[in-house]
Every structure is written in C-alpha cells, then in structure tokens.
Amino acid sequence: MYADTTALLFADLPDEGAEAGASQVEKATVVAPTRSDPRVAYWVDPRLTFSSHRKWGPVKQVSGRNTELYTVSEPGVVGRGSDYALSRVKDPLNSSKSAFRHRIASNFPKWGDTWRSEISANWSTDGTNVIRGNEYWMAWAVKFNSDMLQSNSGEASILDFHVVPDAHDSNPHSPFHLFVRNGTMRIQSKSNPSYVTNTRQSVDRKLWEQSNPGADKWHYFVMKARFHWDNGKKPYIRIWKATGNGSLVKIVDHAGPNAYNDKATYLPQKFGLYRWDKWSGPSTRTMYSKGFYVLRATSGTPTLNEQSMLALLKGV
C-alpha cells in the first residue's frame, strides 16, 4: 500500500468541456509523474512512511518543538490520549488508498498559542521550497469532516505559501492562502513591491471562493504558478479543481504580482490545519489530505499538465 508510486494510466477521464471552464487538455491516456521524476522539488505522500520523507526535508508543526517529518513515529503525532493530531491513515472514502488525517481539538496542546496539524517545507534554499521567479506545477487534495463546515466553525488555514519577512517588515500574512471559514473555502493572494512590506499597503485579492463544499467528496486542486512581486517577471497563478469524480475546472487565472519584495527568495509551502482565533463551535476540526506535490515546470517525460497532476492525486 505504501510502495513507490508507479506511472498511473488514467484513461477513464470525465468528458472534457462538460461544464464551463473545464480543462481543455485532450481526453487521452495520461501518465502521472512519480517521485523519481527529476523535476520533483517536494513530495509529501501518505503512502510513504514518515521516515521515507527525509529527502525532501518536510517539517511537522503540530505541538512541541518543530522536527523533520522523517523523525515522526508511526502512525503519527498524538494530540491527546489515543487521538492523533497528525497521522497516516486509509482514505476514508476508499480503504485501498491513503491519506493524512489532520485534527485539531480544543483540548489538544497548542503550538505557539495556536492549534496546528501542519506539514511545512523546511524554510531553506535547498531546492525543496518554492523559489520566487521559477515556474512550478503543484497538486493537493482535501476532504473535510462535518466539524469543519459548521456555521460557527470559525476560520482555519489549510494551505499557504508562507511569508519570510525581512527584519524591517510589518507583515505576518502569507502571499497565498487557502482558507476555510464557517463552511466556505476561499483563496487569497497578496503582493507588495515595496522594499519595506507594510500589511496595510499590500494588495489583497480574493481569487476564488466556494460555499458548502460538503464532507462526502475529495476536493482536488492542481496549480501552476510563478510567484513574484515584479510584474516584469510575468508572475501568474492558475488553479484547476475537481470534486469527486467530476471534471477539472479552471477556478483561478490571475496574471500579475503575487508575492512580496523580500530578501528570502523562497516561499515555504505548508498544508494541514492551523487555527488562530478563539475556539468556537464543535470541539474538533478534522480534515484529510493527499499530501503535497511540487514539480518544476520544465520539459520531460511524462508531460506535465493539469490532467497528469490530477492523475497523481487520484493514485494516492
């Protein structure tokens, strides 16, 4: 079950163009990239043991001291008693497949005065973090439990490319963020070309939102992006989404600045659950994920596009 990923022949694709915005990649046999692909920058995969992730240097941010993911004992990090905050589990909708389970709870230990069940890149220039100015394909998927989607569930971060602020900055906000708030998902993008980044002077864009996503299906996201604060570098963000067995639909197509003018050239990617406001509503928040995959958008075999990245996720 947790063996190496093999090329996935994903011939049973949904009919293209079935709805407005559907992916225009021709229906054909699609080959998913594997973790041995030389274009892989970052590969966090619930099929793999925690100890197998050392190559990509991901870090767990749950409670206590941050440590590299490869040091986590199976099946994961305990929250309280026999309940896990972060664990590798079977896919709740298909027991032949795999997932990470992320859970925060009002009685779990906090990390930095907040509740977290996150996996983060290692905040370095070693090539495993997304680098400003470079093009990447990225893929992730989430499935919510109903405790995430109540009208009083509050807000949680489920994925972001984190800010690495300069010493003189006044800016704690990530330039890209996927949130869920009281049952609504939304994507925010921020940018600022100034040498000194002040939050109040940054441009804040809501790129997409979806209400009532439901707890009975996987939400698959494929993203192609180049992050930069300088419009001359041709930054952009394109995101496709598929729900369950539905077609891929382009939900974001934004051209223009999407990062900060910081000294650090990297934007460390993070996914999982992170809540910062006062606890409200149900006593737990539970989400499943298929990991996070980042590949450099260069030529090679197989061809990388939105369908091949979706095929990767569907094979997890």
Q: Percentage of the chain surpassing pLDDT 90?
A: 80
Nearest CA to 105 out of 78, 124, 125 is that of: 78
Q: Percentage of the chain surpassing pLDDT 70?
A: 91
**Residue 24's pLDDT is what?**
53
Indicate whether 70 pLDDT > 70. Answer: yes
d(CA 192, CA 205): 12
Give the distance, in angstroms, between the CA of residue 35 and the centroid of all CA atoms in the same chain: 17
* Overall residue count recorded for the chain in this entry: 316
Indicate whether 171 pLDDT > 80. Answer: no
The CATH class for the domain spanning 40-314 reads mainly beta
What are the residue ranges spanned by the domains of the chain? 40-314
**Residue 313's pLDDT is what?**
99
Query: What does pTM read for this prediction?
Result: 0.91
d(CA 167, CA 141): 34
Paired residues of 159 in beta bridges? 178, 271
**Residue 18's pLDDT is what?**
37
d(CA 73, CA 76): 6
d(CA 226, CA 269): 14
Compare 148 and 195 and report the one with higher pLDDT. Answer: 148
**Residue 182's pLDDT is what?**
94
**Residue 25's pLDDT is what?**
54
Dihedral sign, Cα of residue 273, residue 46, residue 73, residue 38:
negative
Average pLDDT over residues 1-18: 32
